[in-house]
């Protein structure tokens, strides 16, 4: 007995993948991986920005505490008296490393020198100012967050106001 097989649409099966299906799968995987890489890059940028804000907070409180500890020469910390660039040039006072041999003015100069060194290490292209209005002292820190080479209005800043 000879059997004849009828080929109809219900019994026909497709086996394997077509080239189009493979290309679509590769394209979708690529888009997904690019999205994942983009999210990772954004997370790293935001993490770095948070780190800089934390450093600005710590460093602003650091100089405020130094100013509170040296109230007899507190106006020597003002930017109108000595800018950060001037403190860098003036350098550290060797006598300020111990409890004797350092005047309050020399301590202020030393504190500004050390603060400037810490700012330089912690954050990119940082500018800092210390001003007084009445009896309120304000520390203002700005840094080059977008790394365009200049500190401008597009970059963040941190302000701390206090009374000694």
Range of the domain at 63: 53-162
Instruction: Give per-residue pLDDT as tens, 128-143.
Output: 899 999 999 999 998 8
Strands 157-162, 136-142: parallel, antiparallel or unpaired by DSSP?
Answer: antiparallel
**pTM value > 0.75:** no
Query: Per the domain annotation, does 28 fall within a domain?
Result: no
30 domain residue, yes or no:
no
- Total domains, the chain: 1
Does residue 44 lie in a domain region?
A: no
Say if 46 falls within a structural domain.
no
Question: Kind and range of the H or E element at 142?
Answer: strand 136-142
| pLDDT tens digit sequence for 55-69 | 999 999 999 999 999
Residue 3 domain-assigned (yes or no)? no
Cα separation values, 126 from 8, 59, 120, 121, 137, Å: 77, 11, 7, 10, 19
């Amino acid at each position: 007995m000879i059997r004849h097989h009828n080929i109809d649409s219900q019994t026909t099966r497709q086996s394997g993948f077509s080239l189009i299906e493979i290309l679509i799968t590769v394209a979708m995987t690529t888009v997904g991986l690019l999205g994942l890489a983009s999210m990772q890059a954004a997370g790293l940028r935001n993490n770095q920005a948070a780190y800089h804000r934390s450093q600005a907070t710590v460093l602003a409180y650091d100089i405020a505490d130094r100013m509170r500890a040296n109230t007899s020469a507190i106006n020597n910390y003002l930017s109108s008296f000595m800018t950060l660039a001037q403190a860098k040039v003036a350098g550290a006072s060797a006598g300020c490393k111990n409890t004797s041999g350092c005047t309050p003015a020399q301590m202020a100069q030393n504190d500004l020198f050390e603060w400037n060194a810490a700012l330089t290490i912690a954050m990119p292209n940082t500018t800092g100012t210390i001003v007084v209005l009445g009896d309120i002292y304000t520390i203002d820190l700005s840094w080059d967050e977008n790394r365009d080479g200049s500190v401008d209005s597009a970059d963040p800043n941190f302000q701390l106001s206090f009374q000694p």
